[in-house]
Amino acid sequence: MRRLRNPGLDEPSAVVGNLLQGEEHARETLAVWPAEDLQTDEVTVFAAGFSGESEVYRAPDPDSPDRYRNYTLRKTLMLEHETPGDLSDWDSRPFPVTRRQWILR
């Protein structure tokens, strides 16, 4: 986080609770995870919990006593990022968002 030199960047543990609308309530944090393959063309990030919307999906399940199983699908924001070339040369620049879509997942 120090490397990004962004004074408005919050620790991830501090960005919890209710999401409030409006620019004055904007929060910024950072998610980091290990990348095993640095030769990739796209990264997809899924984020849920923004709206609380969900839907129950009933699917066949031969192992269930009634032959069906319920799955809860949550409204999820899907962000696809273009990552052309070798990521080891990318430094700390943000990846451009090429697709932003709400899905049930």
Q: Give the residue extent of every domain in the chain.
A: 2-104
pLDDT of residue 4: 78
Rg (CA), the chain: 18
pTM: 0.72
Q: 64 to each of 60, 61, 67, 68, 70, how far by Cα in Å? A: 9, 6, 5, 6, 10
Q: What is the mean pLDDT of residues 33-54?
A: 86
pLDDT of residue 87: 79
Pairing of strands 68-82, 54-60: antiparallel
Helix or strand or coil: residue 102?
strand
- Segment 51-104, tens digit of pLDDT: 889 999 999 999 989 999 999 999 999 999 988 777 777 777 788 899 999 999
Instruction: Please give the Cα distance from 33 to 25 (Å, whole number).
Output: 26
